[in-house]
């Protein structure tokens, strides 16, 4: 698979995971008020609360679709590229979505962390592209 397509898949995963995290947090608001007498009935009441709540259910389904895309991308992408890129970009998407929803951002430290994260992702991608170029050159030389 082409590196660009792999990266787009990882970006899609990160957006699906990262943008839904703050929405899932908001969707669970009020679950602490669900009370039942036994543990089993408490669990069932909480599950009912979550899965009948569209503010939770829609982000949950989007988040899970991100997991499906992730498993597909893992089947075609180097693990050393897929895991750090997807998880780092997920963190950035979560931070930015939370900020858009009015959550605390973290100030200068968060911006510095985002910059360092993007630098690390860039290095991973460049390394992956260089490895694929070297692999293609070796394959071409072997065929001749």
The model's pLDDT over 57-98, given as tens digits with 9 standing for 90+, comes to: 999 999 999 999 999 999 988 888 888 889 888 988 998 899
Locate tokens 């543990």: which residue?
39
CA 9 to chain centre: 11
Q: Where does the pLDDT of residue 21 fall: very low under 50, low under 70, confident under 90, or very high at 90 and above?
A: very high
* Total of domains in the chain: 1
Which stretch of 19-23, 35-39, 125-129, 140-144 has the lowest confidence by average pLDDT? 140-144
**Alpha helices, DSSP H only, in 1-144?**
3-27, 39-51, 54-76, 79-100, 107-143
Q: Would you state the pLDDT for residue 72? A: 92
Query: The domain containing residue 71 runs over which residues?
Result: 3-143
Tokens 């390394």 correspond to what residue? 127
């Amino acid at each position: 698979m082409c590196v660009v397509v792999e990266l787009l898949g990882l970006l899609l995963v990160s957006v699906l995971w990262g943008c839904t995290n703050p929405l899932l947090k908001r969707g669970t608001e009020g679950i602490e008020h669900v009370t039942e007498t036994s543990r089993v009935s408490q669990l069932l009441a909480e599950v009912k609360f979550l899965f009948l709540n569209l503010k939770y259910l829609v982000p949950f389904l989007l988040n899970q679709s991100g997991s499906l895309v992730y498993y597909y991308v893992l089947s075609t992408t180097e693990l050393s590229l897929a895991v750090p890129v997807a998880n780092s970009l997920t963190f950035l998407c979560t931070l930015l979505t939370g900020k858009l929803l009015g959550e605390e951002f973290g100030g200068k430290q968060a911006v510095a962390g985002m910059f360092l994260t993007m630098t690390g992702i860039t290095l991973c991608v460049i390394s992956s592209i260089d490895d694929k170029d070297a692999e293609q050159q070796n394959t071409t030389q072997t065929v001749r």
